[in-house]
Structure 1
Amino acid sequence: MKNETGTYVKLGLFVIAGSIILMVGAYMLGNQQNMFSKTFEITTRFKNVNGLQEGNNVRFSGIQVGTVSKIVMENDTSVRVHMIIEETIRQHLRKNAVAMVGSDGLVGSMLINIVPGKGSAAAIAEGDTIQSYSRITTQDMLTTLNVTNENAALLTSDLLKITGNLKNGSGVLGHLMNDSLMAKDLREGLHNLNAASRQAVHTLNQMNRMIADMNFEESAASLILSDTVFRKQIEDIAASLDSSSRDIRQLSGELKTLTANINEGEGTLGMILKDSLMADQFRHTLKYLDSGMVKFDQNMEALQHNFLTRRYFRKMARKEARESNKQ
């Protein structure tokens, strides 16, 4: 009987201890999953969650503030992550916060780190979607390193080809490196260039000495720079040139006006140039004048052969001959 009583006591103690352990574990697990505190939900989008799972922790500035409740694949380039956050952190969390996937230590489980954004923003609300930042993964670094290695191999191959061509004397640079005559000419050219530069420096020094030795006080330069009378004459010449230029501009304007009037047929000259009837009359007048001159020459010729005036014309011819002989 005593043995049975002891057994029941032990069994009761075991049940009580197990119940206590179960209650403590349930409380700790529920507290870990935010089951006994007021929470709100926010979301974010990632291109790659890097092994993040439901139930992983969410930290804000390094403090545990919630857990990952759900991960949904929206399309081939976007993954939406739902997070349960403690209500007490709402006043510190802003809409411009940034979420990123990290790990708990070097080999720990994945988690989401939320960091405050730059500037000021309103407090976050239930169901808001915050920005995300995807860090460079080890696979991305390996891919980039692989591409870099391939490019380095190609560059090394090209450098080997270039050095081989240089050693064989191919191309201008290879020919220059292997041609001793061209190298000699290049050295002579550099020597001549050096000599020319030294000569130029020597010439400049001589010119500086000549300028320093010039007597500006007794030279024409002194007259130009310091003589007020000569300067006044220069100013008068400049004023005269300016006045002449204004007169020329005025005359040019008057000529343009006159030319415009002539083109429009104004004035006598414009009428002559534009009026076709007057032009015909002018041509007829010139024609009659030409005919009159011809008849006048004929009348003069007839007078020279007339017996009444023939002696006069002969006398004039002899007089002109004597004057010509004297000259």
Structure 2
Amino acid sequence: MLRSRTIREGSVGLLALIGIALFGAVALWLRGINFSEKSYQIVAQFPNVNGIQVGDSVRYRGLKVGKITDIIPGTNGVDVIMEISSSDLLIPKNALIQASSSGLIGETFVAIIPQNELPEQAQATTPLSQNCDSSLIICNNDRLEGQPGITLDDLMPLMYQMSSLYSDPRFFDNINTAVQNTSMAASEATQLSRELSVLAKDLRGQLNTFSNTANAITKVADNSSEQIAATAEQYQRTANQISELTTSVNQLITQNRSNLVATLDNIKITSDRLQNLTVQIDKSLGNTNTEQLVQNLETLTANAAAASANLKDISATFSNPNNLVTLQQTLDSARVTFVNAQKITSDLEQITGDPAFVNNVKNLINGLGNLVSSTEQLEQQVQTTQILEPVQQQLSLRSDNDNFNLTEKSLKLESKNKNSLSAKEINYHLNSSANFPIPELNKQPKP
């Protein structure tokens, strides 16, 4: 019995110890005490804590890294002792320590905001080491200046000022005036937008007009360019033709150069002969009976006038259209008859073979041929008459000309040398004088 009682009492005591140990562990855990990691402390002096209490959190870059372990009020400020849970956290020396809150009525905390990055040489030490450089990092028990944040106490004066401003009637009057001005500005902006819309329509119409004008100008420019190109092509063709013509003329001149030289030589020879003939005529005229020559010339002129009258009558007769038509019809009929006669002759010769009949037909054909030749001679005479009529007019116009007198003198000289000239030679000289006028010679005065 005694042994069992001892076991029961020992069990109760053991359970009590276990409970106390668990309670202490929970209490330490709730206080944030961690025996596995070493922590260090920082002392920050604030002019006003603004509701900071022991146990509030300490945040580094927004993350909780420690807590406030004690708040010690002083004459010149309040010392807030902060415990950083891990000694591995290195905080730059110029970090900003500020008291903040998560809202108007939220919890307060101390925020540590670094201002720059640590160099590599500062990362080799820890805040708890004896060689900790306070100029680079925050070491254990370093004192820093804290800055109070904006709290509800700071916002109350601002809220009071805002309430006073909003309760002032002039503020609402100003707001009403601003609203009215805004409404007027909006109406004017609406009117301006309408005017801008009308202006945009007008500009669109003007742009369409400009576009049409530009298109028309473009078309005109295209047509002009095409016409200019066509004109240039025509000019090129004309230039090529002129070049070809120049080449042809040069070739023609080159080919006919010998003929031109021969013609010029012949003209020179003819001029020399005419000059010699003129000299001989001048010598002969000195020994010529001028009165007899004048009488012969008057007789020749009278005969020429009578011949021209007869030629005029003949030309008038042959120039009659009816006679010409009759002659033409006669010639056509004669030609047709001649052709038919030849066909008949060939047919009859093939059919009959009679030599006497063939001879008679040949005689008939010869007679028709003579008739055709007579009509052809008649046509030639008509043409000759038409040619002689302007010649006769030229002779009548040149009767008082010195060239004609010179020709008559030359005829008289030849009549004296040859005693007489035939009618053909006289006509030849007259035609020569009419067609090729001789330069005027020096006249000798009558004796």
Identify the TM-score tier after normalising by the shorter chain.
0.3 to 0.5
The normalised TM-score by structure 1 is 0.39
Which protein shows a greater Rg? 2
